[in-house]
A and B are shown apart, each in its own frame.
Chain A
Amino acid sequence: MIQANPQNWYLVLSTILFSIGVMGVLMRRNALIILMCIELMLNSVNLLLVSFSAYAGNSEGQVFVFFIMVVAAAEVAVGLALLVSIYRNLATTDIDVLSKLKW
């Protein structure tokens, strides 16, 4: 299936996805959306790994994807917890507000 398309297509696609994620992180100010953008970055990596794995013919890449998914889940859990905590204290999810620590 995957091999039906040239490898570079996957590369370009996941790079574009990754870039979208990066741009999202950079441009959005809402912490939740940023979180989602990071997820997007991670998932673009997943796609890339899977495609590489398929082309290279070994399964290591796919195993790695599972790790990433697990870690991403954990990360999101922690991130959301922190976000909740912040929301409780500040009643906002705008990351620009988080600038008490500076200089």
Chain B
Amino acid sequence: MIDNFLELTKLITPATLVPLFPLIGFLLIALFGKQLNHVSGWLASAMILASFVLTCFLFINLPGKSDLNFELFQWMKWGNITLSFGFLIDHLSLVMMLVITGIGFLIHLYSIGYMHHDEGFSRFFSYLNLFIFFMLLLVMGNSYLIMFIGWEGVGLASYLLIGFWYKNDAYNDAAKKAFIMNRIGDLGFLLAMFFMLFYFGGLDYLTVNEAASGFEVGTLLITSITLLLFVGAMGKSAQLPLYTWLPDAMAGPTPVSALIHAATMVTAGIYMIARSNILFAMAPHTLDVVMWVGVATSIFAAVIGMKQNDIKKVLAYSTVSQLGLMFAALGMGAFESGMFHVVTHAFFKALLFLGAGSVIHAMSGEQDIRNMGGLSKYIKITWATFLIGTLAISGIFPFSGFFSKDEILANAYNGHTLVWILLSISSMLTAFYMFRLFFLTFSRDFRGTAQQQSHLHESPWTMTVPLVVLSVFAVIAGFWGLPAVLSENHMFANYLAPIFADSKEIMRAHPHVDHSTEWLLMGIATLAALISIGIAYNFYIHSKLLPEADAETKGLSKWVANKFYVDELYDKLFVRPMMVLSDLFYVLVDKLIVDLLVMASAWIIGFTGRTIRLVQTGNTGLYLFLMVIGMMVFMLIQLVY
């Protein structure tokens, strides 16, 4: 025990350093960005690499099933409430830290090439480092409050990065939208914290979990808390109905989309629920909500994704859809499956985005897949890695997506048949639109301008190396979580087991599906994916179909292409009324009613003054008369008294 303790204390410094490196990087670049110029890219990458190395060190040295929970300083303290600033390093956070720093490093590296010609080069890297810092805070914090710091901090970084090209107002709008929608979720998170602070007396996970265990399963309190937390997760992880910011967020540079809007930040919601697994386990109703929201989002986004023509938009909707899948997993109580999909998704989606970035790089900024085609000839590495990513996300054996998705589907089959059907459809749609994207981009003939064609080139090594590395992981990551039929040892689930042990106990988890069923399920999934691919092939290679131009889209597909007009709906439902209300309050209530009341009282006084002044006619006779009247009245008053 003592040994264990000593060993743990030794880890405090490296653990503290993990988020500190990116922060230092951010400060250095922010202050000396001009002088550092292109060095800043390397500096930033080095900082993340350092964090990554330290994280690996922690990963290796964290003894057994123990966790490292330490306090840095007291942040706020009043009355009997103490809110400290502290970190918790356990298996769950380590997984996230590895993903963040690992993929983060690769994306930093990639960005050096991608952003090379941008005038805001060092600014970009300072923001990226800032993002990593906050993201690490989010996952490393030992309380909801620290998580909330990271939570809002990544929102800020996301805002800054989406609006990175601030000259474009549409990008700025997208950035603003992302920030505000996130804030809506944050309010839920904040209120959840108030509930916890009030009823549990603290915000750190230990206190909360301990206090929560004193309540019964399914009490209103826990349900409220978890629902509010889930509202926060909906905002951050782009679930229905707060998802609309994520597709717009593609306005940011592509590495940003890869890092923030695919691999890490958007999965914060899943991390949060996984982190609160005990609370959620105690709130079965919330879990149902989470599951159904996830399923709905998954299908909805997949449908929209089928009709998108912007390479990044397709990926964005696929991200939303995949996130929905993860939430569905969480909602079923399969926390480790959800987390597993987070990890695999991080790899292949980052890969896809980076690939898309490489494509856009090659195409000199073109993003519309209708104007691409035949790129496999020009950018071989990108093509190959992109294919791997596409196969992975479509759930083809033995790529990583297959395993993680299969795990979720198996969980769904085991108890929620309807969910299983819906998620399978969603997977099919995913496979379809991903291959639609792939075929339209890389196969057939080039459809862009001649000028674009002449510029087609493979990206520099800083960009291709991350692609290759990620594609390797996109392939092998699945083997960390082999299904029970293939291996007795589900490495990933075992690693996270201590985290979810209590909640599993509360939920009394379902027995595993038997092997034959599992085989069957895997077969169905693969078959479905292959059918989808076949359809896509038939449409876009065989029949040489092209998505029609925007103007020609009609009927249902027009609805789909326009994302079911959800943005317009929100605009009409919330934004416009808010603006009208604002004007109304200002002009009508503030100026007309409230101020008028004030001014009217002043005016009445003034008017009285002007009126009674007329008594003073200047006529002495009247004055004398009034004086005598006054005396008589006074005398009368006196008599009455």
Contact = CB atoms under 8 A, between A and B. Distances in A.
Q: Do chains A and B touch in the complex (CB under 8 A)?
A: yes
Interface of A: 22, 25-26, 29, 95-96, 98-103
Q: Is the interface of A mostly helix, strand, loop or mixed?
A: loop
B620 A102 contact: no
Contacts of A26: 621, 624-625, 628
Identify the interface centre among B614, B616, B621, B625: most chain A CB within 10 Å of its CB. Answer: B621
Nearest to A101: B618
Given A103-B613, A103-B614, A95 B628 contact: no
A29 B614 CA distance: 21
B619 interface: yes
Interface string B588-631: 00000000000000000000000001101111110011001000
A100 B618 contact: yes
CB-CB nearest 5 A-B residue pairs: A102-B618, A99-B618, A95-B620, A99-B619, A103-B613
A96 B619 contact: yes
A100 B617 CA distance: 9
Contacts, number: 29
Contact of B621 (A96, A101, A102, A103): A96
A26 B627 CA distance: 10
A29 B628 contact: no
Contact of A22 (B614, B617, B628): B628
A24 B280 CA distance: 99
Contacts of B616: 102-103
A60 B621 CA distance: 35
Contacts of A96: 619, 621
Contact of A98 (B613, B614, B620, B625): B620
A4 to B, nearest CB: 32
Interface residues of B, number: 11
A102 B620 CA distance: 10
Contacts of A95: 619-621
Given A102-B618, A102-B619, A103-B614, 17 more contacts: A22-B628, A25-B624, A26-B624, A26-B625, A26-B628, A29-B621, A95-B619, A95-B620, A95-B621, A96-B619, A96-B621, A99-B617, A99-B619, A99-B620, A101-B618, A103-B613, A103-B616
B634 to A, nearest CB: 15
A48 B8 CA distance: 114
14 contacts: A26-B621, A26-B624, A26-B628, A29-B621, A95-B619, A95-B620, A96-B619, A99-B617, A102-B616, A102-B617, A102-B618, A103-B613, A103-B616, A103-B618
A99 B621 CA distance: 10
A40 B624 CA distance: 16
A25 B620 CA distance: 10
- Most central of B614, B617, B618, B628 by chain A CB within 10 Å: B618
A16 B126 CA distance: 103
A33 to B, nearest CB: 12
Contacts of B613: 103
Contacts of A102: 616-619
Contacts of A103: 613-614, 616-618
A99 B614 CA distance: 13
B324 to A, nearest CB: 79
A86 to B, nearest CB: 12
Nearest to A29: B621
A52 B618 CA distance: 39
Contacts of A25: 624
Contacts of B624: 25-26
A45 to B, nearest CB: 16
A71 to B, nearest CB: 20
A87 to B, nearest CB: 16
Nearest to A22: B628
A64 B628 CA distance: 25
Contacts of B614: 103
A6 to B, nearest CB: 25
Nearest to B615: A103
Contacts of A29: 621
A26 B628 CA distance: 9
A101 B628 CA distance: 21
A27 to B, nearest CB: 8
Nearest to B613: A103
Nearest to B627: A26
